[in-house]
Amino acid sequence: GAGVSQSPRYKVAKRGQDVALRCDPISGHVSLFWYQQALGQGPEFLTYFQNEAQLDKSGLPSDRFFAERPEGSVSTLKIQRTQQEDSAVYLCASSLAGRNTEAFFGQGTRLTVV
Amino acid sequence: GENVEQHPSTLSVQEGDSAVIKCTYSDSASNYFPWYKQELGKRPQLIIDIRSNVGEKKDQRIAVTLNKTAKHFSLHITETQPEDSAVYFCAASRMSGAQKLVFGQGTRLTINP
């Protein structure tokens, strides 16, 4: 595809429900990042993959958050037992290997927990 | 860890005037500083970036300056146009490790015609 694709674009979940957010990075991009963007704030780092290896998950706010990238391309961010404070836009970004190459962002998934 | 502060949070300028947004960072090991533009409901898009081995970079109406000693960097937009209206984010990262971006809080720039 032409860019990073995320689905769904919008998700409304009842509190306590599990959700799964999908990211299709740009083909050939080794690095994949997940960020959480609360309303009116800058994106905050959640986790980072290099190919299929999750090298940094220091930003995941709790053990209810889990991310995977089993084949080194598509990634899924899963949130278990969603809570109202999980409401945010979840952004995925990908980049080529190498130092500080441009990170391309997807349009995000807006999650609303009611 | 890294902390990035961005000012002002909102900025309103007349079309044709210049706009300046400033950021400070805390981690002296940070050496890559991109700026992203985000229009309402859209993805952040890179508009310019600078690495720590240079002090200034310019691309048409946009320029970024970096002061490593003071740990601050600034975005300058000249001859502003209505389509420059958006939220702008600065960010910082290290060249090593996960290269995760630490973002500022954003500046909502409004260009008044």
Shortest distance between the Cα of A50 and any Cα of chain B, in A, equals 9
Q: Which of residues 6-25 of B touch A (CB under 8 A)?
A: 6
Q: Could you tell me the two tokens for B80?
A: 């502003």
Amino acid residing at B1: G
Structural contact between residues B79 and B63, judged by C-beta atoms closer than 8 angstroms: no
- Distance of alpha carbon B20 from alpha carbon B40, whole angstroms: 20
What is the SS3 assignment for A78?
Answer: strand
B83 φ, ψ to 5°? -70, -5
Q: Could you tell me the two tokens for A113?
A: 């927990």
Who contacts A63 (Cβ-Cβ below 8 Å, separation ≥6)?
none
- The string of pLDDT tens digits covering residues A2-40 is 799 999 999 999 999 999 999 999 999 999 999 999 999
**CB contacts < 8 A (A, B):** 60
- Distance of alpha carbon A99 from alpha carbon B94, whole angstroms: 9
- Distance of alpha carbon B99 from alpha carbon B96, whole angstroms: 6
Q: Would you place residue A1 in the very low, low, confident or very high pLDDT band (cuts 50, 70, 90)?
A: low
Q: Is A99 in contact with B99 (Cβ distance < 8 A)?
A: yes
Q: Is B34 in contact with A102 (Cβ distance < 8 A)?
A: yes
By percentage, how much of chain B surpasses pLDDT 70?
A: 96
Q: Which of A4, A43, A56 sits opposite B103 (nearest CB)?
A: A43
The reply to whether B100 touches chain A by the CB within 8 Å rule is yes
Structural contact between residues B46 and B35, judged by C-beta atoms closer than 8 angstroms: yes
Structural contact between residues A37 and A88, judged by C-beta atoms closer than 8 angstroms: yes
**Region B42-48: what's the mean pLDDT?**
94
By percentage, how much of chain B surpasses pLDDT 90?
A: 83
- The string of pLDDT tens digits covering residues A37-93 is 999 999 999 999 999 999 999 999 999 999 999 999 999 999 999 999 999 999 999
What is the SS3 assignment for B14?
Answer: strand
Contacts of B32 in chain A (CB under 8 A): 99-100
Q: Would you place residue B99 in the very low, low, confident or very high pLDDT band (cuts 50, 70, 90)?
A: confident
